[in-house]
Structure formats: structure tokens, C-alpha cells
Amino acid sequence: MNLLVSRDVQPENSVVRVGDVAFGDGGFVVMAGPCSVENEEQLMACAEVIADCGGQLLRGGAFKPRTSPYEFQGLGEPGLKLLELARERYGLGIVTEVVTEADVDLVANYADLMQVGARNMQNFALLKALGRCGKPVLLKRGPSATLKEWLMAAEYVLANGNPDVVLCERGIRSFDSHTRNVCDITAVPAMKEMTHLPVILDPSHATGRRSLVAPLARAAVAVGADGLLVECHPNPDAALSDGAQSLDLTQFRQLMMTLPCRILKA
């Protein structure tokens, strides 16, 4: 069967537009921000630095899919309102996660790009609803999903009427617990062979270690990724989620200055 996501059906790259930001046109898009939106001061500190050093989108979670029900679950709608405020102040489009079908309309009122988290990659009811949501979708790879399963998850969104899907590799489960996940860097060019959809890398969740984020970010450029998702925080050691993998704002600035695509463009 010819899938809508397949390069056989559409040989040329899809360009997914999020406001004036384009994925898949040969450029490199950096989306960054805190794992969780925690408060106004934290979010604005991130947004200011991201905008200042050339990041194109602000990403932060208001609804968080946490492994434990006792961990911080996100601020909910007040978090979405803080993201909206940051967009007004800094002109950055907003990327944020929707964890359940019931929240699709609510999140779509605020988000410019709707994130589907790794744990929800095969939540087919959610994928179908996102096919009808009118906003582009960022689809993370499930921690144990094959590339074919990931493609099929994207197919659900396209088949339900939404052609605007960006794929995000975020590491898979394997035997070595040294890193939080194992960064499947191969997945980036392998997916780009099979599909016309843009593919980005999330080196933060892929490694779980802040020291490994910049090297893997450079690898993303080298293998032809269309962009990056990076977690940063003004005070990572005090973060309510994913502090160990979050860059502080100075480290984020350094990363932006040393990405090879930027050096080549300069």
C-alpha cells in the first residue's frame, strides 16, 4: 500500500510551516525551553535568551506525561497562558504537548505546534484528533517503537486530514543505562530516506545528560536533521522536571554559537 508519508508517493521534501518558521526547506530550526513551564520568571528568562541567540521556537510543557503520578504534572492551562505571554513578548512560536484527546482543542487554542510525547506515539485516538486540529504536529518516536511503527503513527495524522507533521527522534530503550535512552542517530537519515516529512533530533531526552547534548546536537546537523529540540532552564538543578539533561542558559547560548550550520552560514 502506498502510504501518504512515503517518499514513493511524494519524492520532494514536505515543508512544514509554523508561523514564519519552516521545517524541511533545507534550514535548521532550533526549538528550546524548559521541560515544564514552572512560573513566569523561569519561562521568560528562557524565552529571552532563546530569542536573543537565534532560536526560532519556544518549547515548554504545561501538561506533562510523568512516569510517576506523584511527580509534577505541569501547570495545565495557566502554563499555556504563560507560553502565550512569552510569544507576545518575544515573538517566538509556541510548541507544547497535548497528552490526551480531551485537551486537543484547549491546547490548539494556544500552541503553534502540537507535541505528541513519546509515550503517546501510538495513542491512535489522539493522533486521529490531531489530524483534525488545524495545527501542525510534532510527533516524537516512542521509546520502543520501530521506524515503521513511527511512520504509521504519522500516517494516522495525515490520513485524518493533517499533512503537517514533524518527526522527532528522542532516543530508544536499550540495555545500557549509562544514558537515559540510546540516541538512535541513524533514525534521522533512515527516516528521511523513507518519508518526505521533516525529522528533528531531541538530544536532551535521547541522552538524559547535559554534557552530551551539544555533541549530539552537532551530530544532528551532520546527519541532515531539519532541527533540534533542546531543554534549557535558568537553574537546571532546581528544575521540577528533567534538570539533569537541561542546559543552563549560558550553555544554551554556547551551543547556539557552535552549531556547525551556523558557522557555515556566518
Q: Which cell is 9 given? A: 508517493
Q: Which is nearer to ligand PEP, 201 or 249 (CB)?
A: 201
Residues 20-39, interacting with ligand PEP (CB under 6 A) = 35
Q: Could you tell me the sign of the dihedral formed by the alpha carbons of 212, 115, 128, 136, in that order? A: negative
Stretch that binds ligand PEP, among 14-22, 115-123, 207-215, 257-265 (CB under 6 A): 115-123
Per the DSSP assignment, residues forming a β-bridge with 195 are: 6
> Dihedral, CA atoms, 74, 220, 153, 194, nearest 10 degrees?
170
Give whichever of 112 and 242 is closer to Mn ion, judged by the CB atom.
242
**Which of these ranges, 7-15, 16-24, 113-121, 149-157, lies near ligand PEP under the rule CB under 6 A?**
113-121
Among Mn ion, ligand PEP, none, the one that 184 touches (CB under a kind-dependent 5 to 8 A) is none
Candidate list 5, 16, 35, 153; residue touching Mn ion; CB under 5 A: 35
Question: Contact with Mn ion (CB under 5 A): which of 242, 247, 255, 256?
Answer: 242
- Window 89 to 128, contacts with Mn ion (CB under 5 A): none
Closest to 261 measured CA to CA, from 10, 26, 25: 26
Of 126, 204, 27, the C-alpha closest to 114 is 126
Partner touching 118 among ligand PEP, Mn ion, none, CB below 5 to 8 Å by kind:
ligand PEP
- The verdict on 243 binding ligand PEP (CB under 6 A) reads no
Region binding Mn ion by CB under 5 A among candidate stretches 2-10, 33-41, 148-156, 217-225 = 33-41
Of 175, 196, 149, the residue nearest 10 (C-alpha):
196
Report CA-CA distances (Å) from 7 to 64, 81, 141, 262.
33, 38, 19, 28
Stretch that binds Mn ion, among 121-129, 167-175, 237-245, 248-256 (CB under 5 A): 237-245
210 binds ligand PEP (CB under 6 A): no
Positions in 52-111 near ligand PEP (CB under 6 A): 61, 65
> What contacts 156, CB < 8 A, 6 or more positions away?
124, 127, 128, 131
The angle subtended at Cα 183 by Cα 181 and Cα 187, nearest 5°, is: 130
Cα–Cα distance, 14 to 166 (Å, whole number): 9
Query: Alpha-carbon torsion 161, 60, 146, 26, what sign?
Result: positive
How near is the Cβ of 52 to ligand PEP at its closest, in Å? 23
Interaction mask 125-154, Mn ion, x per CB under 5 A: ------------------------------
210, interface contact from ligand PEP, Mn ion, none, CB < 5-8 Å by kind: none
Q: Residue 71 has what DSSP assignment?
A: S
User: By Cβ distance, which residue is nearest to Mn ion?
Assistant: 35
Residues of the shown chain interacting with ligand PEP in the complex, contacts defined by CB under 6 A = 35, 61, 65, 117-119, 140, 170, 205
